[in-house]
Structure 1
Amino acid sequence: MDSDGPFDFSGRAVIVTGGTKGIGAAIAGAFLTAGAQVLVCGRTEPPEPPRCGGRRAHFLSADVRDPQAAGALVDGAVERFGRLDVLVNNAGGSPDADAATVSPRFVEKIVALNLLAPFYVAQAANRVMREQRTGGSVINIGSVSAHTPQPGTAAYSAAKAGLLALTRALALEWAPKVRVNHITTGPVRTGSAASVYGADEGAAVAGVIPMRRMAVPDDVAHACLYLAGGLARYVNGADLAVHGGGEVPARFLAVRDELPGKLPGDPAGGFPGT
């Protein structure tokens, strides 16, 4: 990446899918702060697009599960900015669902959003990036569910595991002009996720994370700046864990009261918040 510094994205163009709120908005804001021109997309236009330092992201309505809409999103960025340097495939998610009774339509929608959509947008982005002298960078935002599925997340976990495999496959095929990397996120404290982590606002969850806190959206955004920038110019096909060290294994927590002596990190035994 040609720039005045490893986190200077002046003159660069970035797409962030699902970039109107939560983690996506933080990613968009980080790139705006770094000088990039940013296009965010979603199915519904937000009251206000991400802003930072007097600069604002542009918005384009797009359902990236549709291959034609994914292509139009990339075309829109190139038409507006004249280039495309970074794609962050952030759009995703799923409500919990019982695998025994979930409908085929639900499964199809979850796989389409979390696996097929990133593939479609990446394909369109690659067609542009591979023709540029400076190439480009694709970053897929994944989940710990790809590695350690939780109950109620069968379709989501399968799709996210596929996204990780897709990342590695595209990294093999598209290098050296286009680098493709993956971020494994753990629990992230966002407004929309607050109710998921219990009445204690996530204190118990934080207690089983080695860093003793849940991630905030900026933690993911800063990882994106690294992967997209010059310091990561030889990083390709990587899975960067942004989960605070993971979670203490349940079997360890289940027997903690039976173990002799004190456990790490808590003078009273056990882990804080558990």
Structure 2
Amino acid sequence: MELDGRVAVVTGGTRGVGAGIARAFLAAGAEVVVCARRPPDAPVEAGGREAEFIPVDLRDGVAVTDLFADVGRRYGRLDALVNNAGGTPYRLLGEGAAERHARVVQLNLVAPMTASLAAYEHLRAARGSLLMIGSVSGTRPSPGTAAYGAAKAGLENLARSMAVEWAPEVRVNTLVLGMVRTELSHLHYGDEAGIAAVGRTVPLGRLAEPGEIGDAAVFLASDRAGYVSGASLLVHGGGERPAFLDAANVDR
């Protein structure tokens, strides 16, 4: 198995995309630690193996440093860090003070940087891999989630700088995600008909599954991606169909 004997930490790994990534790492043979503020509703497991949960607030720098020190003591190594934790409510810029938008940037940009710095020496010792979970929101206008989009754009740039500064000991890459079907999809897209309708806007005709994101993450953490660093891998089903194609009055 590709990650036998490796140790990985997945932030926000208790549900949704993060749990899909954690399960994929378990299936690939890794020992997995998932962290979040609250425990998972059910164990994160795959192939009869279970991820360990450690509670942490990623905005607390001291707690994050202690987390990675604890992982280092207990497992003896750290081979991969997946900075997955993040998210945002829908809020137009004019509907919130700057401080509220800044909290979104704190969670989606500053917290991953804090975790990466705390994990660096452990990853360097193992010649490991660091993976940022980005978003197409960071590559296009994101009305209603502007601070989130700005943070994700910054996260991708941060990863590229880290890839240069931390080479050759640590590889750093970004997975740029489109829409993913999770247990919270109904909050964003409505009922099954709404989710299907949104999926039809994607060239591949559906939303991604968390396990598919996990498979891409395993690839980037594995030796098969040994010469991949500073890269952004688009996992978005082909992107978004340009609006002008539907507006144009021509035969196709």
TM-score (norm 2): 0.96
Aligned to 1:32: 26
Give the 3-state SS of the residue equivalent to 1:201 in structure 2: helix
Alignment size in residue pairs: 251
**Which stretch has the larger CA shift, 224-233 or 246-255?**
246-255
Is the contact between residue 167 and residue 180 of structure 1 (CA under 8 Å) also seen in structure 2?
yes
Aligned to 1:240: 233
Higher-helix-fraction structure: 2
Q: Describe how 1:169-184 pairs up with structure 2 within 5 A.
A: 169-184=161-176
Q: Take 1:53 and 1:245, find their aligned partners in 2: how far apart are those partners?
A: 30
Is the contact between residue 208 and residue 247 of structure 1 (CA under 8 Å) also seen in structure 2?
yes
Aligned partner of 2:202: which letter?
I
Question: How far 1:246 sits from its partner (Å)?
Answer: 0.2
Question: How far 1:203 sits from its partner (Å)?
Answer: 2.0
Aligned to 1:271: none
Give the counterpart of 2:201 among 202, 208, 213: 208
Question: How far 1:26 sits from its partner (Å)?
Answer: 0.9
Q: Give deviations 1:22-72, integer Å, cap 9, x for gaps.
A: 111111111111111100001011233301121111011001112112212
Aligned to 1:225: 218
Q: Which protein has the larger Cα radius of gyration, Structure 1 or Structure 2?
A: 1
Aligned to 2:6: 12
Give the counterpart of 1:156 among 141, 145, 148: 148
Is the contact between residue 70 and residue 117 of structure 1 (CA under 8 Å) also seen in structure 2?
no
Q: Describe how 1:82-231 pairs up with structure 2 within 5 A.
A: 82-132=76-126, 135-199=127-191, 200-231=193-224
Give the 3-state SS of the residue equivalent to 2:234 in structure 1: strand
Is the contact between residue 174 and residue 232 of structure 2 (CA under 8 Å) also seen in structure 1?
yes
Q: Take 2:20 and 2:83, find their aligned partners in 1: how far apart are those partners?
A: 13
Give the counterpart of 1:73 among 63, 67, 84: 67
Give the counterpart of 1:54 among 41, 48, 59: 48
Is the contact between residue 87 and residue 137 of structure 1 (CA under 8 Å) also seen in structure 2?
yes
Question: How far 1:150 sits from its partner (Å)?
Answer: 2.4
**Which stretch has the larger CA shift, 25-34 or 196-205?**
196-205
CA RMSD of aligned residues (A): 1.3
Aligned to 1:266: none
Question: How far 1:149 sits from its partner (Å)?
Answer: 2.4
Aligned partner of 1:153: which letter?
T
Is the contact between residue 135 and residue 176 of structure 2 (CA under 8 Å) also seen in structure 1?
yes
Is the contact between residue 13 and residue 19 of structure 2 (CA under 8 Å) also seen in structure 1?
yes
Give the 3-state SS of the residue equivalent to 1:166 in structure 2: helix
Aligned partner of 2:215: which letter?
H
Question: How far 1:104 sits from its partner (Å)?
Answer: 2.4
Question: How far 1:211 sits from its partner (Å)?
Answer: 0.9
Is the contact between residue 195 and residue 201 of structure 1 (CA under 8 Å) also seen in structure 2?
no
TM-score (norm 1): 0.88
Give the 3-state SS of the residue equivalent to 1:150 in structure 2: coil
For structure 1, the residue ranges without an aligned partner over 5 or more in a row are 1-6, 264-274
Give the 3-state SS of the residue equivalent to 1:202 in structure 2: helix
